[in-house]
Every structure is written in C-alpha cells, then in structure tokens.
Amino acid sequence: MWTTKTRSISTLLGQCSRCRYVSTASRPRIEARLPLHTQLRRISTPASSPYQILDQTYKRDTYSNTPPAILSKIDRRLLHHPSHPLSILRNIIESHFSTHTSLTPSSPIVSVWQNFDELGFPPDHPGRSLTDSYYLNKEYMLRTHTSAHEVETYRKGLDRWLISADVYRRDEIDASHYPVFHQMEGTQVWPSSDITEIKELNAKLQKELESCPLIIEDETTISSTNPYQPTHDPELAEEVTKHLKHSLNSLIYRLFGSQQMEGEPLRVRWIEAFFPFTSPSYEVEVWWNGEWLELLGCGVVQQKTLDQAGMSYLRSLSRPSSLPYSDKKQCQRLMPDQSHKAGWAFGLGLERIAMVLFNIPDIRLFWSNDKRFLNQFKSGEITKFQPYSKYPPCYKDMSFWVPPISSDTAGGKGKVFHENDYCEIVREVAGDLVENLTLVRFPVLSIPHYPPILSTIK
C-alpha cells in the first residue's frame, strides 16, 4: 500500500471551493468520476486517434504517453506575455547580452534524435525513460531541454545566440516541481584569429566588475578532472574561459545586485562541475537569504559539438571549377577552417531564478490566469509577489489498486507502475489545485496482480 499527501494550493489561488475533485476541509474524501484504475488505464494506454498539435498530426503507438493536461500548456506561451515574471526575466537577460541573437523555437516537438542521440545521450540514459519524458510516439517527443535545438542553431552559422523555450518532463507534484518549465541557454563562439579582441574585452569586463560591490569566490583550476580540450590552443581556451566568467558574473550582478541588502556586497561562487557537452565546466551560485543558491551550469563548448554542426569547417572543392556540376557535387568535401572556432555556453532555469527574484512561493503560480497574480507585475520591473488568498490548506488520504502490469507497452519492454504515473492521474483530475504528493507506503498487502496503494492528498 502506498500513501501520498497532497495539498490544495487554495492559500495561493483561492479556488478550493470551486474544485469538485479536491474538496474543502468540511468534505471527508476526494470525489472522482471514474475508478482510479480506469483513469490510469486511460493515461497509460495509447488511444487510437492521433495527436493533433500545432496543425501537425502525430500517430500514436506504444510509446505515446502525453496527456491532454500537458498538451494544453503548449499554446500558453508564457514567454510572450510582456508583464509575466518569466518574460520580464527573459527580457532582462536578453538586454544584458544585447549583441546576441534571441531565438524562440516555434514548436516544443522535436525528434528523439534531436533530443537525445544527436547530443550523445547513451541508450540507457534515464532521461529516455517513459516515466521521465513525454513521447508522442517512438520518433517524436516534447523536448526535455533547450539543448535539443543547439546543433541546428549552430548550423545556421550564428556565433552568439540565446534560446528561450518551454521544456517538458514528467515530474512529481510539489511547490518547486512542475512538468512544464522554461529554460534559457546562450553561447558565444570566436575564431582563434580573434584572440586579441577577446583579451581586450576581458580587460574591459574585469575593470567594470572591480567597480561593483561584488565578491567573487573562484578557487577553480584547470586539472585532469576539469581540463582544457586537447584540440584547443591553451591560450585561446584560457581567454574564452575568462570571458565566460566575466560575462556571467556581470549578468548575476545585473539580476541580483539591486535586490541585495543595502551596504552588503553580492557574493558569487564558482564550483568545478562535469557536463558532457563542455570542458572545462562550472556551476555558479549566489549567496542569497543566508544560503548558497545554485543558478546555472556553464563551460567551454566541446569541440565535437561545433564540428558536428559545421562551425569549424568550410565547404570547398578539391578539383578545378571547370568540372561539370555533377562532378563538382561529388568532389565536395569538408575542409578544416583555418580560423578554427571555440566558444562558451551556459544554461539556466527561468522559473528557479524568477521565484527568488519575485518572491513567488509556488511554481504553479506562473500558470495562473488569475488577475490578482498577473496584475502584480509590469514589464521591465522586478516586484515582490503578494499572496492574495485566505483559504487554509486541506489534507486528504486515498487508497487504490493498480492494474496488472502489461507487456504491451514501449515496444514490448513492459511497464511498471511509477510514482509519476500517479502524479499524472492527479494532475488530470485536479489540475494545479494539488500542491504536494508524498509516498507513505507501498505495498502493505501482497495480492497477485493488484498491489494496493493508499494515497493522501494535501
């Protein structure tokens, strides 16, 4: 038996009395239109009708696990609402990197190849699991990170860009986790011939940072565990790394400096890290409200990523131009670019930073249509969120049985009931009124095929 605790976020949204499925404190239990094992089967078993998303059709198969509640978020486009906290934060970051090209992919649907294979994710990576990601079918899915667009953006020949987008992951239910959130990643790439320009930029940025009330704690070193890449000239790699650190230190000061208590310098800390797509790699933290808050990950882009996108190569002919066109095409080959490029990249979660800057206590509030939330914010301004509901939280327990394990899913690999499956059921029934789910026990009894599950809803 399995027990979860969930909580109505009536204290934030003030809608508990309007919800049929998550009751007020005076009602003893949750009401559901269908038995939970039937609801589970609805979510986990592919329907016959194809998905219709953004005027495109996607056939369903045994991998299909994206429910209507998730698909309904695609059209919300929170980053396009000027007075929304996420849009305000995005615009501040884009204005800081004013020379970068700002991009927003038109659709969150990508191929599995783009999302995983092209980026080198191994076949057994947990992110590929049906319990972790939303699939439309075996070939297409909702992107789990903005990096799914990284290689195709490099292929456009852009040397500096920012990508902001909504990403989707099957996740638990609580105040800091949501199945849809927003990421931003940015990059800047130079040819090695620009090393003098990079040095000049670094000197200028360092001088500007020295004039700010900012304490930078950076004890990172280049070592065998966090090395420069062997294909990079060490001098170029060092200057690229310096520019990365100066650029992000100034961004963090731009975001948090004005919010810091008067008279206290802002503290930023750099920590060595490991990411498969950068080397050297770092995580960056800021001292906030008495503790270190992780903000982002970053590093020098792996050269193989740039090579795969054609950033470090030029197309040329190995034979005279007098050859017929058909022969020319056959003779085309990729030649190394003599100006060999290298660059840095960073990635951050917009909700994580916005919740801190705007003092927003629950991640689901970003999706609220309540004017009492939306009218609190103005484009270009960081203001503190003011709670507006008087309703107390309400706790409920519930128990149910899971259906037999089926072997007819995900290409015959079978499917075991997962906690995220239950979160999907709750989300489909109660929407965003459920604040938290806590597993208490699973199972208590041993009955063939139907292990009992007990759940509590807060």
pLDDT tens-place string over residues 70-113 = 999 999 999 999 999 999 999 999 999 999 999 999 999 999 99
The backbone torsions φ and ψ at residue 353, rounded to the nearest 5 degrees and listed phi first, read -75, -40
- pLDDT at position 418 over 80: no
C-alpha torsion sign, points 113, 117, 118, 121: positive
Q: What is the full DSSP assignment across 103-163? A: E--S-SEEEHHHHTGGGT--TT-GGGSTTTS-BSSSSEEE-SSGGGGHHHHHHTT-SEEEE
What does the pLDDT read at residue 406? 53
- Give residue-wise pLDDT tens across range 9-67: 333 433 332 232 222 233 333 333 344 444 444 444 445 799 999 999 999 999 999 99
Q: Mean pLDDT in the chain?
A: 80
The residue written with tokens 């953004």 in the block is 54
Q: Residue 36 has what pLDDT?
A: 44
pTM of this prediction?
0.77
C-alpha 200/C-alpha 222 separation (Å) is 22
Helix (H, G, I), strand (E, B) or coil at 237: helix
Return all residues near 377 (Cβ < 8 A) that are at least 6 apart.
Answer: 83, 84, 85, 88, 358, 383
- What is the tens place of the pLDDT at every residue in 276-293? 889 999 999 999 989 999
Strand 341-349 relative to strand 180-191: parallel, antiparallel, unpaired?
antiparallel
152 — pLDDT class (breaks 50, 70, 90)? very high
Q: How many Å apart are CA 62 and CA 409, to the nearest integer?
A: 5
